[in-house]
Amino acid sequence: MTSEKPTMSGQTMIEFKDVHKYYGDYHALRGITATIKAGEFFSLLGPSGCGKTTLLRTIAGFEGISSGVVMIDGKDMVSVPANVRPTNMVFQSYAIFPHLTVEQNVGFGLRKDPRSKAEKAAAVAEALEMVGLKGYGARAAHALSGGQRQRVALARALILKPKVLLLDEPLSALDKKMREQMQMELIKLQRQVGITFILVTHDQEEALVMSDRIAVMFEGEIAQLADPETLYRRPNSRKVADFIGTMNFLPAEILSEIDGKVEVEAKGFGRLTLDAEQVSVAPGSSSASIGFRPETLTILFDGQTATDRESRAEVVEVVYYGDMTYYDIKLEGTTEPMRLSMRNVFGRPVLDIGTQTRVAWSPGALVLFR
């Protein structure tokens, strides 16, 4: 298997400069500016209607843009039609040509390739082997399962060795097991071929698992562009925090600000000081709140003591998940229940509703939204 290592890893592959797109009066893309690096696994994540698919299609050339610039590998793509762009796409519906065999589908893009018939056939066989469909070449397209169709779509796109592979929600039609398996295979495949992958998805877990970097989009704009860990731990707005995983919010009052360090008071947590990097400033928001993930709070059982800080709380709801137990707790002095998750390690009891308990937490795991 030849693996083409990207020659210019880390360099810019795709560049958006202030891209706008209108459908009639509808403003679908509102000033997208971003760069995607060569060899990166990049995801566009957002709810349906946020413009992520539109943005992907402007790269493929299926959608024109109203203003701005889209560059691929340093070339302006404005007047380049889809069929000559150095990109290939895996469609949401896979778009496997139903009247052709698997082989003919995979070799579809080689029609104008100057290579000999035998060489092309070898390339097709190689591509099929790469996606784990060795020996399926003669099958009729409509006789394939969902997962197999997706592999054919992948082989068909990768055989042309595009600079960028575009994936439009490729896993959404698969069941949960198959989806998780394909996620792993896609990651491996991307590492193997080294091609820039751009994935559109509405599934935050999928984006976190697969991507080097993620652009979270809302209403035609990129809300945050970061690597998965930053996105999870330091979301830059309550909206992003809400969309990715679960986050609890507690109202907070800002007491003072010295050298970027912010001193706040929040019911249940008391008075604490946060570093500058823990503070997200959302434009137009008037009230401040503290955010934290369910797993950053830990229930203290008899005899345990907190390494950092601790608060008193009451259990108001228990949901048992097997490997995990989710608790809704009320911190002392608050009225809103907060979500807390505990791993069910052997010997650890599951608490009942109404139990008074203590929770441990650390100011470093909190985020302040203001």
Residues that bind other proteins in the complex, under the rule CB under 8 A: 18, 20, 22, 24-25, 27, 31, 60-62, 66-67, 81-84, 87-89, 91-93, 95, 97-99, 108-109, 111-112, 142, 156-157, 160
Please say which residue, 31 or 132, places its beta carbon nearer to other proteins: 31
Please say which residue, 57 or 213, places its beta carbon nearer to other proteins: 57
Q: How many Cβ atoms sit within 10 Å of the Cβ of residue 160?
A: 16
Minimal distance, residue 237 CB to other proteins, in Å: 22
Minimal distance, residue 146 CB to other proteins, in Å: 13
Task: Answer for the pair 39, 195: CB distance below 8 angstroms, yes or no.
Answer: yes
Minimal distance, residue 94 CB to other proteins, in Å: 8
Q: Is 109 helix (H, G, I), strand (E, B) or coil?
A: helix
Please say which residue, 65 or 174, places its beta carbon nearer to other proteins: 65
- What is the CB-side half-sphere exposure of residue 94 using CA atoms within 13 A? 25
Please say which residue, 29 or 313, places its beta carbon nearer to other proteins: 29
Minimal distance, residue 170 CB to other proteins, in Å: 12
Please say which residue, 27 or 330, places its beta carbon nearer to other proteins: 27
Minimal distance, residue 43 CB to other proteins, in Å: 20
Q: How far apart are CA 144 and CA 322, in angstroms?
A: 35
Minimal distance, residue 282 CB to other proteins, in Å: 21
Q: What token pair was written down for 16?
A: 């958006």
Classify residue 81 as exposed, middle or buried by CB count within 10 Å of its CB (0-12, 13-18, 19+): exposed
Instruction: Work out the angle at residue 290's Cα, subtended by the Cα atoms of residues 320 and 239, and round it to the nearest 5 degrees.
Output: 80
Cross-strand pairs, 328: 317, 339
Task: Answer for the pair 153, 98: CB distance below 8 angstroms, yes or no.
Answer: no
Please say which residue, 97 or 301, places its beta carbon nearer to other proteins: 97
DSSP summary character for residue 276: G
